Structures are given as structure tokens and as C-alpha cells.
Structure 1
Amino acid sequence: MYVIISAKSSPEILSFTNHGFLNYARAIGFSIECLGLHQGDPQSANLGDGRGDVNETAVIRENFRIPVLGTCIETLIGGNHFRVFPQTGPDANSGALFLAASKEEDLSEHHDIIPDGYNIGRDELVLAAVGLRSHNGVKYNTTVSDVTGLLQAGSQGINHGIAQDGIIKLLTVTIVDS
């Protein structure tokens, strides 16, 4: 997980009820998968919250700022996507959202992660998020800070053996008055 949405974010951002998180994702240029369809096995992660390995809650894809069909384009030509894992277990019920971001190849390459795809996916996601964004009448301000020391740089234990730089981006998302 190379991006974390802080538990200090506005509660609506951390919620999957009332489309709070999804509205934010759309504000930064992402949305649910093409026509709501997902193929492939769910990915799992251990967030250290006492639940062990848990499956992703959602897969969110770049939509190229094209409502409805943008994620279908991403499915065909590749692009950025992230998997969402809420930290809600009994040992660490922070409510923070851990995001596994990556940049992937097109469909003909079976959506393999591009070289340096974890760092690139993270950085593109953060670039899209930081600052003032809005969607559906809701305005968001996102700030970022770097967290080091939680993840060792390199490819050991990293899916697909793709090296990453060990930097985690901590986003704090605040809903601002219209």
C-alpha cells in the first residue's frame, strides 16, 4: 500500500455509504470499473488491524474525466487504478483507507503492471488528488505528506517483483464549504 487516506480526513471520505468515497474518487478522475463489472480474483492484504488478510473493498479505475465510459477506455488501453482496503479491525480500527495504486498495461498485455508501475501509479494518483477538487457539488481539499520507514524499498515481498521506493503518501482529504 503506497497511499493512505488518513483517518483525520472528513468522515464522508472514509465511508462507502452514501457514495462518499466514490464521489471523491470521481472528483480526482477515477470511478468504479467499466459498467460495474470486475474480472479477476480479488487481492488481499494484511493491514495489521487484527483481521489478517482481507480482500479489497473496491477497485477504482482512472476514468479520463469521461463519465460512465472512461473506465471502459482504461480497461482497453491501460492506465492507473487502485484497490481500496479500509483499516477497521479490532486491533487498529482507524478507519483509514489503504490504497494499492499501480499503473498497468493495456488489455492485450493482460493489465500487467508497467515497469516502475507502483511508484508511477502512486505518484499519478497523488498528483490528481492534491489541491482543490470537486464533483457533484462537493468540494475537497487534499494535502499530502511523505511517510518513510514503514516499507522497505525494493521488490522483496512485493507483488510481481516490481521494485518500489519505500515512500508512502499520506493524504488528508477535507470537505470544504461550497
Structure 2
Amino acid sequence: MSHLQSTVGRGLSALGPVLTKLLNKESIIDINTLIPDLVDVSKFMGQTHYLLWQHRRHMVYPKLNPSIQKVAKDCPLDSYLFGENLTDRCKAAQSLQKSCLEMRAAPAKSFDKTQPSASKNRSAQPPRSKYKKPEGSAKSKNQDQRQRTYRSSGKKPSYSYYRNNRQRH
């Protein structure tokens, strides 16, 4: 606010000499000498008007709806605080938002009638394979046994365990 007051003060100070020359009837007034002072006055008054406009806009902006805030943020300086066509811009933004919501793809609802849903039957297990797994050789059975022993004990088997259980080719 102090910046605003100083700008108004400068404008009034620049207006003082112009009014003095106009009110002094004894001398002939040359318009060319008044123009620079009047230009300074108009600059200060224009700057004051702009600062007041910014302040009003700053005070109103937080009270706006968030969707309108996005539109109002980019509005140019006009005869109205947020521009002449703010309502048109807001309507366009809302219709665009509705169109986007309509265009979003709904999640596909696909389900298999042969398998029970997990929500209805919590103990449902995956379907079993139609084909049997081939029986493994003796080597694979021994490997399975070693893996089970290793897993169940929690300890790593010793070197002698591997040496004794080694397959002869």
C-alpha cells in the first residue's frame, strides 16, 4: 500500500505545476510547456490504476472456485476485473472438463464363467493342468531330496554330504 500512496503522491506533485500555470492568469500559457507535465501526471495515474487493479484481483482470486481460478489466472487486463469474456471462458472450461470425463474409457468388465470369482470363493485354486508332468529320472529325484533336506534344515549341507550323494556316471 505504501507503494500505491507514493505513486499517487508523485502524480499529485506533477499535477501541481500544471494547475499553477493554468490558474495564473497574468501570463500567457504555452501548451507545449504543459504537455510534459501532463504526460507525467497521466503515467502516475495509470500506474496507480494498475496497482489498484492488481490488488483487487489478488483479493478476489482466493475466493473463486478452483476450476474458475485456472481460467481467471490467464485473463488479460480489460474493462472488467477478470476480462469481459470470463463467463464464456468458464463455460468453455466446464464443457471441456465434462467432455474429458465422458471420453475416459470405462474399465473393461471381462470374466470367465468357468472359474469361480475370488470374491465369492476365497478357497478357489487355480485350475489344474490337463497334462501330467513327466516322471523325472533318478537323478532329478535325488536332487529334489537334497533340496528338501537343505530347505528343511536351514543349514547349508557339508562337502561330505555332496561327496557321498554324488551320482556316478
TM-score range, shorter chain: under 0.3
Higher relative contact order (CA 8 A, sep 6+): 1
TM, length-normalised to structure 2: 0.19
More helix by share: 2
More strand by share: 1
